[in-house]
Amino acid sequence: MKTTNAILFAAAIVLAALFLGNAYVERAEQTGTISVTGLGSEDFVSDLIVWEGRFVRENSDLKAAYAALEQDKSIIREYLVSKGLKPEQVVFKAVSTAEQSEPQYQNGNYIGAKFVGYQLTQAVEIESRDVAKVEELSRSITELMNKGVQFYSNPPRYYYTKMADLKIEMIRKATEDARLRAETIAANSGGELGDLQIATMGVFQITGQNSNEDYSWGGAFNTADKNKTASITMRLVYEVED
């Protein structure tokens, strides 16, 4: 019985040694990895413009204020259509009404507020593919002042309607850039690039061309500039074979 136990114990030791030896060889033969980050970027010109302004009327009588605002609305629509816009492109938003008051003082002490009238505000928005035309309109809209309209213009916002295609192209460029970097590193280290293990896409960024605009962790999305730059990063992890 003792002899049998000794034989089994010796066999267990031999098997354990073989297992550990194989594990060591397999661990020693594992390949290393290279982690690289590639950048894809491209300049483009916006093909859609959105421009918004607002006009205001004030009066102590609400009906009179609304009637004046409606008159301004007709003047604005006629003016914009005369400049080449289609009527359906001119979108008027809901009217906003606010009560106006003035502070009252007696012997230097505040005693309350006195109602002086109503302020009615309405916004108008233009969306167009004709970027140049609406840009010109946004600059010349002060002509409405000569027609008695109290109009305030906001800076235009610029967009790009082929953003999905642009993103795909940026991913392709960033991936190609990362692979070239990985191949260079592998060749200079005497190895060969193996299989791709991990691919991670960074945040898509849109900034103004030739600007010092900072990237954002959540992704920059510039709407202030007509000429923009799109960029994205791709992080790739490859095996490296000896």
Average confidence (pLDDT) over 147-153: 93
Q: Do domains 31-45+162-241 and 49-157 have the same CATH topology?
A: no
Q: What is the pLDDT of residue 94?
A: 96
User: In this model, does residue 47 exceed pLDDT 80?
Assistant: yes
CATH number belonging to the domain at 49-157, selected among 3.30.70.2970, 1.10.3810.10, 3.40.228.10, 3.90.850.10: 3.30.70.2970
> Which comes out higher in pLDDT, residue 12 or 224?
224
How far is the C-alpha of 114 from the C-alpha of 100, rounded, in Å? Answer: 9
Encode pLDDT of 196-235 as tens digits. Answer: 999 999 999 999 998 887 777 778 899 999 999 999 999 9
Q: What is the pLDDT of residue 107?
A: 85
Q: What is the pLDDT of residue 193?
A: 87
User: Domain 31-45+162-241 is of which CATH architecture?
Assistant: 2-Layer Sandwich (3.30)
Contacts of 128 (CB under 8 A, 6+ apart): 48, 49, 85, 89, 134
The candidate with the shortest Cα–Cα distance to 126, out of 100, 98, 158, is 158
User: In this model, does residue 12 exceed pLDDT 90?
Assistant: no
Mean pLDDT of the chain: 86
Q: What is the pLDDT of residue 119?
A: 96
Q: What is the pLDDT of residue 31?
A: 57
Please report, for the chain, the start and end positions of each structural domain, with discontinuous segments joined by +: 1-30, 31-45+162-241, 49-157
Q: What is the pLDDT of residue 72?
A: 97
Encode pLDDT of 54-104 as tens digits. Answer: 999 999 999 999 999 999 999 999 999 999 999 999 999 999 999 999 898
Q: What is the pLDDT of residue 198?
A: 93
Q: Pairing relation of β-strands 109-128 and 48-59? A: antiparallel
Angle, CA 95 vertex, CA 93 and CA 97 arms, to 5°: 150
- Give percent above pLDDT 90 in the chain: 65
